Chains A and B, each alone.
Chain A
Amino acid sequence: MAKCKVVVVGNGMVGHHFVERLLATGAEAAVVVIGAEPRPAYDRVHLSDYFAGKRPEELALTTREHYAACGVEAHFGDPVVAIDRAAKRVVTAAGRVFAYDKLVLATGSYPFVPPIPGADGDACLTYRTIDDLGRIRAEADRSRVGVVVGGGLLGLECANALRNLGLETHVVEFAPGLMGVQLDPPGSRMLRRKVEALGVVVHTEKATTRIGDGRKRRLVMEFADETSLETDLIVFSAGIRPQDQLARACGLEIGPRGGAVIDHRCLTSDPDIFAIGECASFGGTVFGLVGPGYRMAEVAASQFTADKQHFTGADLSTKLKLLGVEVGSIGDSHGKTPGAICLSYTDERREVYKRINLSPDGKKLLGAVLVGDTSDYSALHQYYLNGLELPAEPESLIFPAASPAPALGPAALPEGATICSCHNVTKGAILAAIDGGALSLADVKGATRASTGCGGCAPLLKSLVDHELAARGVAVARGLCEHFPFTRQELFHIVQVEEIRTFDELLARHGRGRVGCDLCKPAVASILASLWNEHPLAKSHAPLQDTNDAFLANLQKDGTYSVVPRIPGGEITPDKLIAIGRVAKKYNLYTKITGGQRIDLFGATLAQLPHIWRELIDAGFETGHAYGKALRTVKSCVGSTWCRYGVQDSVGMAIRLENRYKGLRAPHKIKAAVSGCTRECAEVQSKDFGVIATDKGWNLYVCGNGGMKPRHADLLATDLDDETLIRTIDRFLMFYVRTADRLQRTSVWLDNLEGGIDYLREVVVEDKLGIGAELEAQMARVIDSYRCEWKATLEDPEKLKRFRQFVNDPDGRDERVVFVTERGQIRPAREEERTALESA
């Protein structure tokens, strides 16, 4: 049977989601995607990140290559202009024709620009696509004042963008309040108060009648109340309209507010044409949020399988941060349900407003409004979404009472309870993922996609996963091991507060038994090192160290070690290269260039290590900590010193950073890099922290990873000067050192951090917890107490005793260590080679 030809018109977030879901079903389909925009689908929800320094490709949800690899035929920048339902084919602007068996309309919406005279000038813009953002940025460069028309969700997002571009920002709204759809009037007033405190000027009940040439500024907006406002640019964000021309032109039934009418299966009035997302009308409603669009995409994709799902409307609850103000809206936020009971709480000092609307019997939650503090959102959303019975005193859910609100534990939720409404993930699906082997928060996120949309359910998901893993007896039994009933973070705190200096002391005071094990010993050694930075081979610390730290070298499979001297930033003089070569030759070591821009010397026996290091140190080298859960290298490209494209001295910065953080012990190894321009030759976005030069300073990326589970780093801060960059990295690293789990890289740490990169930014950049100075001071102590561990070892006969091959024959040979030659260098003999050599 020939594959079903599925043509998807539109490649926005919803259209792309449909393609992904369809592919995931494994249905026999040949998929063709036709997008009007010049690029594949990207994340429109986080569009304003573009102004915070994200590049278009970072917002991308997919790539041409990915589609090609999945067998999807994709065309961009050539919009479909007509649908021929009789012949079952579509035609593009360029005249290309595509036949379909099933057609999916995912054309989205367009910004509504009110029919105001003068609203069509160059400085009148909209806010919808990446190209729109490019235009706004270009206009902003020659502007001082900007106006956003529309005080809704998208309008305030846009106001934030203008503010980030450095414009004096105004919001002009026709209605009496901001976000009138989601917020009740008191909530709206509180939001306005907070937004105005940020310097954004809000004008409400303003109907614009005309836009003309200004006197002081480029434009003047005239309002119906005979007032006016001068500005340089205007962005219209006054709502959206379904992009439904194709549907209209081919005679599909259209809803009362536009959009192709769809049924429960997301089928239009033509049984071979689906419509999903903002171009569809369901029950007379056009849903302007991504969550319902995703749900439609899933329902439509399911029609190609045996497991057909139904679309039954959508939860429009939302939690977000607008201009830094937390706002939440759940269900019937205005309390319009007949007989609804309203309870509200206002705190003008802290600028917090909360309201819940109850069913007439007071037992169910109909809706809620939260402004200034959305910490109750998760719990309230669960009560609403799953129709749970409220506690006897529901006001305790929002009032900051002396006693805490009754906790809605994850155990209390039914299996059908929706945890993530963006991706429609139920508690049951999460339990299934855990049963299927997802044994961490990050794994559960990967398997179910829960909490990867708006992120509003992150705290709830975390507590659910923790609870379920604990219930299954998975060794998340919070403690580090059987000897310490504490997490690494708790132990760190104990060691710091009680100023504990040794493992034995910590074990005696807070642990069980007298010995410990190979889980707690290295973890505690790392904590002690991060805090007090004593020598790892000091008498009380040496037996705690893991394999490599124990001998300050990297153990290889045959029991020999490799040695890595530090080469900061990868910069090395010819003399030093010669010195390394000389040592390698003298001790017959195998040499290899590492990924971190340095040189690894293999095949050293235990007894050789001090001799090798004596020569390296005499040649001016220091230890490279290749053996430690510590800063490894700061890789760099050659930067502005030599490169035709470099804009900053990346090598100089890399050396400065590597010398600053060398010796810092952490929960796991730390890799870093500095690139001298956006070409990014140092590959910093795969590092724990990475710095990219801009013409104004440095952009700081964090929590990237290469290796087994690659993760692109997140942008933490932009255009920093040298000192701010270093201060921010100090705080970031120390916060990681303090709070990560044992052997947790920064990437996994961030994936498990409640609130994610936004929270990290609040702590590290905005210093919300007020611990910035403390973190910096702690880092300063580590930096000030740095000593080359190998130099100190060579000066101490007690430490050198560890490097005896045999206690009764210090320089004796281990007969198991046998080398053969390959490509002109040594390598360990294989078992059969060893036997052959022995018998020879």
Chain B
Amino acid sequence: MMEAKSSEAAPLPAFPGEVVCTLDDLVPGGGVCARVAGQQVAIFYLPGEAPPLYALGNFDPIGRANVLSRGILCKIGDELAVASPLYKQHFSLRTGRCLEDPQVAVPVWRVSLVGECVVVAP
């Protein structure tokens, strides 16, 4: 996930994608949900981490509802994760994998910052 880092310096995103909002719309230390290509994407913002932006599918496959953007961000050991607000399983922000059940994973989306714009792509 070097995209976000390189994007801070470069005027163009490292990948073609959709501008969903500006940095100002994100919640530092938390998540928001965006609609991208008909899908629901949870975008998380952790200022101070490298990279600071992460994006996962918003659908919680265990609780079976679109809620992951509303979870609490965690560091479990060395892994950054979001805790589902429904039944509290953790999903890795890097890999999308469920830390409690490795059989379960959510899609990972690419996300980067271009200037003040947040760009998301599958």
Residues of A near any B CB (own CB < 8 A): 482-483, 513-518, 521-522, 539, 542-547, 550-551, 555, 557-559, 801-802, 804-809, 812, 814, 816, 831
Contacts and interface: CB of A to CB of B under 8 A. Distances in A.
Interface in B75-101: 75-77, 80, 83, 85-86, 88, 90
Nearest to A806: B35
A516 B75 contact: yes
Nearest to B84: A547
B40 A558 contact: no
Contacts of A515: 46, 49, 73-75, 80
A72 to B, nearest CB: 43
Contacts of B64: 816, 831
A545 to B, nearest CB: 8
Contact of B34 (A550, A558, A807): A807
B32 A546 contact: no
B28 interface: yes
Contacts of A542: 27, 29-30
Leading 7 A-B pairs by shortest Cβ distance: A543-B29, A543-B30, A517-B74, A547-B85, A559-B65, A515-B75, A518-B83
Contacts of B63: 557
B29 A804 contact: no
Contact of B49 (A514, A806, A807, A816): A514
Interface in B32-85: 32-35, 40, 43, 46, 48-49, 59, 63-67, 70-77, 80, 83, 85
Residue with the highest number of chain A CB atoms closer than 10 Å, among B32, B71, B74: B74
B27 A802 contact: yes
Interface of B: 20-21, 25-30, 32-35, 40, 43, 46, 48-49, 59, 63-67, 70-77, 80, 83, 85-86, 88, 90
A193 B29 CA distance: 63
Given A515-B74, A518-B90, 11 more contacts: A515-B73, A515-B80, A521-B74, A545-B72, A555-B67, A555-B86, A807-B33, A807-B34, A808-B21, A809-B35, A814-B66
Contacts of B72: 517-518, 521-522, 543-546, 550
B66 A543 contact: no
Contacts of B86: 547, 555, 557
B73 A543 contact: yes
Contacts of A807: 20-21, 25-26, 32-34, 43
A379 B40 CA distance: 62
A559 B28 CA distance: 22
25 contacts: A515-B75, A516-B75, A518-B74, A543-B27, A544-B29, A546-B85, A547-B70, A547-B86, A555-B67, A555-B70, A555-B85, A559-B65, A559-B66, A559-B67, A802-B27, A805-B33, A806-B33, A806-B40, A807-B25, A807-B32, A808-B20, A808-B35, A812-B35, A816-B59, A831-B64
A807 B102 CA distance: 30
Nearest to B60: A559
A518 B75 CA distance: 9
Contacts of A513: 75
B75 A539 contact: no
A801 B25 CA distance: 8
B75 A558 contact: no
Contacts of B40: 806, 814
Contacts of B66: 559, 814, 816
- State the main secondary structure of chain A at its contact with B: loop
Contacts of A806: 33-35, 40
Nearest to A547: B85
Contacts of B88: 518
A795 to B, nearest CB: 19
A483 B63 CA distance: 27
A516 B59 CA distance: 23
A831 B63 CA distance: 12
B22 to A, nearest CB: 9
Nearest to A801: B25
A692 to B, nearest CB: 38
Contact of A539 (B28, B48, B67, B85): B28
A48 B65 CA distance: 57
A495 B102 CA distance: 37
A804 B74 contact: no
Nearest to A520: B74
A801 B20 CA distance: 15
A555 B66 CA distance: 12
B103 to A, nearest CB: 20
Nearest to B80: A515
Nearest to B81: A517
Contacts of A545: 72
Contacts of B29: 542-544
A517 B85 contact: no
Contacts of B21: 807-808
A544 to B, nearest CB: 7
Given A559-B65, A807-B43, A808-B34, A514 B85 contact: no
A380 to B, nearest CB: 46
- Most central of A542, A806, A816 by chain B CB within 10 Å: A806
Contacts of B73: 515, 543
A817 to B, nearest CB: 8
B122 to A, nearest CB: 16
Nearest to A606: B70
Nearest to A517: B74
Contacts of B76: 482, 517
Contacts of B80: 515
Q: Which of B26, B29, B33, B63 has the most CB of A within 10 A?
A: B29
A546 B84 CA distance: 10
A14 B40 CA distance: 66
Nearest to A559: B65
Contacts of A557: 63, 65, 86
Contacts of A516: 74-75
Given A514-B48, A807-B43, A816-B59, A483 B75 contact: yes
A543 B85 contact: no
Nearest to B67: A559
A816 B65 contact: yes
A528 to B, nearest CB: 14
Contacts of B83: 517-518
A547 B82 CA distance: 12
Contacts of A812: 35
Contacts of A550: 70, 72, 85
Contacts of B33: 805-807
A436 B33 CA distance: 45
A505 to B, nearest CB: 13
A555 B72 CA distance: 14
A546 B27 CA distance: 15
B94 to A, nearest CB: 13
Of the candidates A515, A544, A558, A807, the one having the most CB atoms from chain B within 10 angstroms of its own CB is A807
A547 B86 CA distance: 7
A62 B43 CA distance: 58
Contacts of B28: 539, 543
B25 A551 contact: no
A496 to B, nearest CB: 23
B52 to A, nearest CB: 11
A558 B67 CA distance: 9
A544 B71 CA distance: 10
B31 to A, nearest CB: 8
A511 B80 CA distance: 17
Contacts of A558: 65
A521 B30 CA distance: 12
Contacts of A551: 70
Contacts of A521: 72, 74
A559 B74 CA distance: 21
